[in-house]
Amino acid sequence: IFVFAFAGHPNLFNPKFLEPTELIKRVHNNYLLHFGHALVTLCTGLLVVVAIHFMNKLKNTTNEWWGFIGGVIAILGALILAVDKGALCLTISAIDTLPENEFINMNLGLLAMFEKKGWLILINGLMLLPIGFIIQAVGLLKSRSMAIWQCILFLIAMLFIGTPDGVEIINLTASTLMAIALIPYGFSLILNKQ
């Protein structure tokens, strides 16, 4: 899901950090981007499941605290990711249904949203998601509860997944590393349950 969502961003091969006004222009009437953001919103529940799974995987090991602390932080970050996508991405998709002159009249309000004014400042806590998973990845690596190569790829992915808007090629690369690490792990979980 993250690979698709990041691959749907425009100008992947022309990276530059974007200002709030540029973000508004980029997302306006970009239905592929809206769809990708909607998928990420729905995916946040899965992130909570993954964090809890890693907590349980590290339970009753000498690295249990890595799992617990990282899990709590990652779950909080996943909730903030849902808020971010809901507030900034899904909202603007609704505003895109208005006539263009109405959209233009809302630009000051949109700018306040994308500048994270008011309580939207809480969205700055989004980095808790990768930080929590980094902590868990260290615990998994130390306890060898997962294959070392998977832990290392997951750890590298989490270090770069939170790169700011405009340079999504880095996020896309991180998502690809995460998929390489976790898809085989997921299949092994499914096969071992049967």
Query: How many other C-beta atoms are found inside a 10 Å radius of the C-beta of residue 46?
Result: 11
User: Phi and psi at residue 152, in whole multiples of 5°?
Assistant: -65, -45
Residues in the chain: 194
Q: Residues 19, 31, 82, 17: what is their CA dihedral angle, to the nearest 10 degrees?
A: -20
pTM for the full model? 0.92
What Rg value do the Cα atoms of the chain yield, rounded? 18
What's the rounded Cα separation, in Å, for the pair 134 and 155? 6
pLDDT tens for each residue of the chain, 194 residues long: 999 999 999 999 999 999 999 999 999 999 999 999 999 999 999 999 999 999 999 999 999 999 999 999 999 999 999 999 999 889 999 999 999 999 999 999 999 999 999 999 999 999 999 999 999 999 999 999 999 999 999 999 999 999 999 999 999 999 999 999 999 999 999 998 75
Q: Burial letters for 59-96: b for 16+ Cβ neighbours within 10 Å, e otherwise?
A: eebebbebbbebbebbbbbbbbbbbbbebbbeebbebe
Q: Give the chain's end-to-end CA distance (angstroms, integer).
A: 25
- How many domains is the chain built from? 1
pLDDT for 194: 52
pLDDT for 193: 73
Q: Which domain holds residue 44?
A: 2-193
113 contact partners, CB below 8 Å, separation of at least 6: 87, 88, 91, 120
